[in-house]
Amino acid sequence: MMLRNVLILETSTESGSVAVACDGALTAELSFTSRDPATGVRTEALAPAVAACLAQASMSPRELSTVICGAGPGGFTSLRSAAALAKGLCSALHIPLYAVSSLEVLAWSANVNDGTFVAALPAGRNEWFFADVMSEAQRASLVGEAGLIGDTDLHARSASLHASLIGPGLEIDTIPRASAVVLRLEEIEAGRAVALDSWEPVYGRLAEAQVKWEAVHGRPLSAL
């Protein structure tokens, strides 16, 4: 049975997006940035975007039957904010939460033909989060595990695989878009919903604040 009223959140990059689907069809979508375009100061744009997208779809939060959240890797603060909002909604409404790799959402957003690709998202420090992608019958899927790679090695990898690069500023220049998830709702529903009390996004690396704390204190933060 197709997921009925679905809210989709994707925040792995600073250009996030929200979508609402009803009975398998996209009914509303909205993009936003997590930083003020003039000052560069971080803004709390996700919750207002969700409210606006639901209003655009003429749907109240109580009508939602499912939430799907981009699971990273990507920006720590933006992923954590989306996860908190998604878990809060699902807990309050007693509805399931599904998680999907943001690199897979990126591959779906590219709408590529058949072939081999490498999906990549900026990780800072001249590095990228990446995963290999295979597309057959114009349905892209991740192959193997996601990883972290330097810029030079990323381009060398794509050359060795004879693969096009998918990602912001790359050969196929795109970002993960929540609306791209709508065409894959059936296979997402076929998987398992996540456990609300334990699920967290895949950040891809430790937060800067944790790295600095551990450097100062000489021990892992988790050891406390």
For residue 169, pLDDT beyond 70: yes
Q: Are residues 14 and 124 in the same domain?
A: no
219 CB-contact burial (10 Å; exposed 0-12 / middle 13-18 / buried 19+): exposed
Q: What does the pLDDT average to over 79-87?
A: 96
- Which of 120, 142, 166 is where one domain is finished? 166
Q: Could you tell me if 96 and 153 lie in one domain?
A: no
* Band of pLDDT at residue 48, cut at 50, 70 and 90: very high
Residue 90, Cβ density class (10 Å: 0-12 exposed, 13-18 middle, ≥19 buried)? buried
* 45 shares a domain with 91: yes
* Mean pLDDT of all residues in 70-87: 95
**Confidence at residue 158, expressed as pLDDT on a 0 to 100 scale:** 98
Select the more confidently predicted residue: 112 or 38. 112
Cα–Cα dist 120/146, whole Å: 9
Buried b (16+ CB within 10 A) or exposed e, 116-152: ebbbbbbbeeebbbbbbbbbeeeebebeeebeebeee
Mean pLDDT, the chain, rounded, equals 91
SS3 (DSSP) at 114: coil
**Do 133 and 57 share a structural domain?**
no
pLDDT level of residue 223 (50, 70, 90 thresholds) = very low
- Residues 145 and 51 grouped into a single domain: no
Confidence of residue 22 (pLDDT cuts 50, 70, 90): very high
Number of domains in the chain: 2
Q: What is the mean pLDDT of residues 138-157?
A: 96
Residue 73, preceding bond cis, omega within 30 degrees? yes
- For residues 108-116, average pLDDT: 96
> What local confidence, expressed as pLDDT, does residue 198 receive?
95
Tokens of 187: 């296979």
Q: Same domain for 96 and 182? A: yes
24 and 88 in a single domain? The answer is: yes
Phi and psi at 163, nearest 5°, equal: -115, 145
Long-range contact pairs involving 153-162 (C-beta distance under 8 Å, separation at least 24): 154/118, 154/120, 154/128, 154/130, 157/118, 157/130, 158/118, 161/116, 161/118, 161/132, 162/116
Name residue 122's beta-bridge partners: 128
The pLDDT value recorded for residue 40 is 61
Residue 65 contacts residue 4 (beta carbons within 8 Å) = yes
Residue-level pLDDT at 204 = 84
C-alpha closest to that of 15 among 185, 171, 206, 167: 167
How far apart are the C-alpha atoms of 62 and 46, rounded to whole Å? 18
Is 127 in the same domain as 219?
Answer: no
Query: Which amino acid is residue 25, in one-letter code?
Result: A
Token couple for 135: 């597309």
User: What CATH number does residue 45 fall under?
Assistant: 3.30.420.40
Both 74 and 183 in a single domain?
yes
- Average pLDDT on 6-23 reads 96
Rounded CA-CA distance 21/1 in Å is: 14
pLDDT of residue 218: 77
Burial of 33 (0-12, 13-18, 19+ CB in 10 A): middle
- What is the extent of the structural domain holding 96? 5-102+176-223
- pLDDT interval class at 213 (50, 70, 90): low
Average pLDDT of the segment spanning 68-93: 96
Residue 210 has pLDDT above 70, yes or no: no
CATH number of the domain encompassing residue 156: 3.30.420.200
Over residues 34-53, the mean pLDDT reads 81
Average pLDDT over residues 82-87: 97
> Is residue 213 included in any domain, yes or no?
yes
> 209 and 147: one domain?
no
